[in-house]
Structure 1
Amino acid sequence: MVTRIVATEVARRAGSRARKTARAVQSHATRAASGILGLAGERMTKVDTAWLRMDSPSNLMVIVGVWTLKPGISYAELCKRVEERLLKYNRFRQRVVEDAAGATWVEDAEFDIANQVVREKLPKAKGATQQQALQKRVGELAMEPLDRAHPLWRIHLVEDYEGGSALIVRIHHCIADGIALISVTMSLVDGGAAPPERRRKQAPSNPEEWIADTLIKPFTDISVKALGKMGEGAAKSLEMLRDPQQGLSSSFDVAKVGLQLVNDAAALLLMPDDSKTRLKGKPGRSKRVAWCPPVPLEEVKAVGKALNCSINDVLLSCVAGAIGEYLRELGDDVDGQEIRAMVPVNLRPMEQAYKLGNRFGLVPLVLPIGIQNPIERVYEVRRRMNALKGSTQPVLAFLTLALSGLLIKPAQDAITSMFGRKTTAVMTNVPGPREKLKFLGSTIEQTLFWVPQSGDIGLGVSILSYGGGVQFGVITDTTLCPDPQKIIDQFEPEFGKLSVVTLMLPWGE
């Protein structure tokens, strides 16, 4: 009995020493990280650090967005709204200071709204429309680095654009991903609310909590919610990481998710290099963007319902058809060919989007550009999309980015290069508000955005539903695709073909 009491007391004291040691180590690490170069600030996450370091001469990691508004807005009103709403987010007042171990968010002591919000005047080129002039300028700004002496974002106001105004917004990817930036957008528009106040996080009380809080919980929280939508079994198994007692009762589920993770990791690593089309190669140092008029969302829904396909299936099929037709018109034989696009997958609860940062994974989607029959192509896209359900690849890609943020730049570049060889495009598909929004009393008529391409990827495709329409946009490297409008011009005809053929099908069957 005495021996047991002594042993218990020794264990208790050892645990107490371990907890104190862990807290001291954690405190020292925090002071060391935030005190580098004598600066006080918040340490950047490893995933965000990976995006910060991913800039290259051919691809800057900058998200570019465009709003067109009617009637026009004034520069003074815009600055006031940005100061009232956008600067409520700490990240938009902070600059980035890099060091050998990573980077730190630091308040910009010289912050000036005039540096961040600027006037833009479009050149008047002979024979060019204002839209073409705006597209040219957006392409130029996509390759103009943001000033690292100040916060990594900038808003350009074109005060006179097609009877209204246009905004070009540039935000470095290290600040936030696309889903988080939608939350930012919703706070800027008329009626929008400032981000919720953050509660100060309490420090973990013991080493086990510290490990779980630092390493395991950030992974499982976002993974379980995301995988819950893709595969119930995978989500249930990952839930066990947060509740081991629950996991002990179902070793079969643990084995199942373990096998899924192994298979998906092997699939990512052993993925062959992508098809060699003219869209694949070494990019140069200039970009072009293009977009088309919105396609009515109700028409897209009707086609999807008639074919028993999702809206995504229909839109992605049209993207594949547009790229295929573009290459055929240039004389390329693409019959039977396919290209791979990396598609971002959100890994965060939507109610936490205001926290900014990057919480998304990537999943490779193969687009059958060689199938000309629109019905056959949409069903092939549906088959491929269904095959991705239950995949843990988005989570693995997220962890790969987190790992690369820990590595030196050459090692990170090697990882980025690997993804670049296996991919032709980056594609985003984001559902936006059903009704058109107001900004400073004006109507946002169109909203477009392009996420950056990494490594040697030279094609970016964006699909955004907004105000009852679906907006399709493309950004390309001019060395690989000098005129992205030629891809855009194929999108609406491809949807038209699919609509006509759908109407001709026997609907009673």
Structure 2
Amino acid sequence: MASGATTRETLSAVDAAWLRMDRPVNLMMICGMMLLDGHVDLQRLKDVIRTRMLCFHRFRQRIVDAHGDPHWEFDPGFDLDWHVRRLAPYAGASLEDMASMLASTALDPGRPMWQWHLIDGPHSSALVMRIHHCYGDGFALLHVIEAMTDTDPVHPRHPMSDLVGHADRRGAWERVFGPPAEVLGAALRGALDLAAAGTGLLAHPSRTFDYARRGVDLAFQAGVIAAMTPDAPTRLKGELGIAKRIAWCAPLPLLEVKALAGVLGCSVNDVLVACVAGALRAWLQEADDVPAGQTLRALVPVNLRPAGPVTELGNRFGLVFLDLPVGVADPVERVHAVHQGMAALKTSQQPLVAFGLLAGMGVAPEFVKERILEALAANASIVITNVHGPEQPHYLAGRRIERELFWVPQSGGIGIGASILSYDGQVSFGVMADVQRVPDAADITKRFTDEFEGLRLCALMMQWPPPDR
């Protein structure tokens, strides 16, 4: 660690994009929360974070030259007491009030941009995590949480090995001349990678068709995104403010969701996303605001990491635009519509195209970055993320984690994000929304629960087996 204390590391283009997307009305900050089965000793919590989170060197680093050539640099005044602190609720504040306040408050860019806040209730503790998206995506952060927690509180695990990531592939001329040279350098590296792939094709001619098919689809999906018209103008779209509101609902039993998915012949994700669509439909109908086109678009992250253990932090995911069938009244038909939409996207190259756009935002001039950001935000009304967490209970600092929740940031002018997380046999659903767009985020989470109950009732009343089986 000491030898690396003076080393500067360049942010990847995609990580830099998330840094550059930050704005006062839409902070690029991931928020998470653990609800524990008792009170946690603050010093013991700090010891766990010191040994099992700070073993990843990235969390001792801050960003320097954020608006020029951003680099990671070790914080010479690193203070764990600033990053891990107890937070007393203000008079009359609920846990949702406290979490919403934290979600609306920017992290200090002069320090490593993460904090843990311990909030004690009468009988138990909640632990709220805030971390800037440039440090990692949800898949990377799950690896960090896994490193900090135990499956057996009596036998805590040893600290994990550091994740060093990949070496910077930029040439010296790119580092000197900055973003314009980086754009050209990225293109040249892509050409070299394609040339390497071509050499492989001489030895494996059968791969030619697959590469050609993927190349055609990449071009097609790039055209689809470029030609996409702005999403329907509902009350979800509009000017944003600084205040955000966080909400969550009672967890759903994962076995029930799986059983429902089996009956309907679709995935667990299809069922849950359809419930989100149903909740939005009901909320919009209340103000007679269901779009004439009968759909709303959602931005859905797609993991692009290779199978196997996580080897680096940072961001490695693409995005797809999914049509949410908010105009479909029947809950079962809504599930089938989501299933068809997701099936069409699963084999497309749209996530890679979106990943490339994000990378471009990380190195492009400011006006180009703003245009890309505005276009992405205009083409969707909501961000929906679904993450598969541990299937067994975990413990932190000796306390069992009863529930895990998280909330994702939204880019540009998108004012609402929905987060789904499975953990220990239950599914948690949370919403973070801009107060100017959705004054009461809990209204959406309640309707999500209602939609699931309605879908389950419809499934119980269905003919079995279905006539088309």
Are residues 1:315 and 2:272 paired? yes
2:239 is aligned to 282
TM superposition shift of 1:163: 1.3
Q: Distance in 1 between matches of 2:301 and 2:165?
A: 30
Are residues 1:460 and 2:430 paired? no
| Distance change (3 Å), C-alpha of 1:490 and 1:239 | farther
What RMSD, in angstroms, separates the aligned Cα atoms of the two structures? 2.8
Are residues 1:187 and 2:127 paired? no
1:166 is aligned to 126
TM superposition shift of 1:409: 2.5
Are residues 1:60 and 2:17 paired? no
TM superposition shift of 1:255: 3.1
Question: In the TM superposition, what are the counterparts of 1:292-303 in structure 2 within 5 Å?
Answer: 292-303=249-260
One-letter amino acid matched to 1:404 = M
Q: Distance in 2 between matches of 1:447 and 1:471?
A: 7
2:60 alignment partner, one of 71, 83, 93: 93
Are residues 1:49 and 2:16 paired? yes
Q: Distance in 1 between matches of 2:131 and 2:462?
A: 46
Q: Secondary structure at the match of 2:409?
A: coil
Q: Distance in 1 between matches of 2:164 and 2:373?
A: 35
1:143 is aligned to 104
Q: Is there any run of 5+ residues in structure 2 with no aligned partner, and where?
A: 1-5, 151-155, 173-181
TM-score if structure 2 supplies the norm length? 0.88
TM superposition shift of 1:355: 1.5
Q: Secondary structure at the match of 1:88?
A: coil
One-letter amino acid matched to 2:159 = A
Are residues 1:112 and 2:79 paired? yes
One-letter amino acid matched to 2:50 = E
2:317 is aligned to 360
TM superposition shift of 1:333: 4.2
2:178 is aligned to none
1:434 alignment partner, one of 385, 391, 408: 391
Q: Distance in 1 between matches of 2:39 and 2:167?
A: 47
After superposition, the C-alpha distances for 1:312-345 in whole angstroms (9 at most, x for unaligned) are 1111111100111111123434576211111111
Are residues 1:72 and 2:29 paired? no
Q: Secondary structure at the match of 1:386?
A: helix
TM-score if structure 1 supplies the norm length? 0.82
Question: In the TM superposition, what are the counterparts of 1:249-268 in structure 2 within 5 Å?
Answer: 251-268=208-225
One-letter amino acid matched to 2:418 = V
Q: Distance in 2 between matches of 1:370 and 1:267?
A: 23
One-letter amino acid matched to 2:380 = T
After superposition, the C-alpha distances for 1:341-370 in whole angstroms (9 at most, x for unaligned) are 111111112545251011111111111111
Q: Secondary structure at the match of 1:255?
A: helix
Q: Secondary structure at the match of 1:279?
A: coil
Q: Secondary structure at the match of 1:167?
A: strand
| Distance change (3 Å), C-alpha of 1:369 and 1:199 | closer
Q: Secondary structure at the match of 2:134?
A: coil
2:117 is aligned to 156
TM superposition shift of 1:185: 0.2
Q: Distance in 1 between matches of 2:188 and 2:257?
A: 39
After superposition, the C-alpha distances for 1:207-245 in whole angstroms (9 at most, x for unaligned) are 9xxx9xx9599989xx9xxxxxxxxxxxxx999468342
Q: Aligned pair count? A: 444
Question: In the TM superposition, what are the counterparts of 1:398-417 in structure 2 within 5 Å?
Answer: 398-417=355-374
One-letter amino acid matched to 2:280 = I
Contact 2:163 2:313 survives alignment (8 Å) = no
Q: Distance in 2 between matches of 1:301 and 1:364?
A: 25
Structure with larger Rg: 1
2:296 is aligned to 339
TM superposition shift of 1:405: 1.1
Q: Distance in 2 between matches of 1:290 and 1:461?
A: 10
Are residues 1:245 and 2:206 paired? no
| Distance change (3 Å), C-alpha of 1:390 and 1:239 | farther
One-letter amino acid matched to 2:71 = T
Q: Distance in 2 between matches of 1:100 and 1:332?
A: 40
After superposition, the C-alpha distances for 1:243-301 in whole angstroms (9 at most, x for unaligned) are 34246555443432222111111011111100111111121111001000101111111
Q: Secondary structure at the match of 1:429?
A: strand
TM superposition shift of 1:102: 2.1
Q: Is there any run of 5+ residues in structure 1 with no aligned partner, and where?
A: 1-38, 224-236
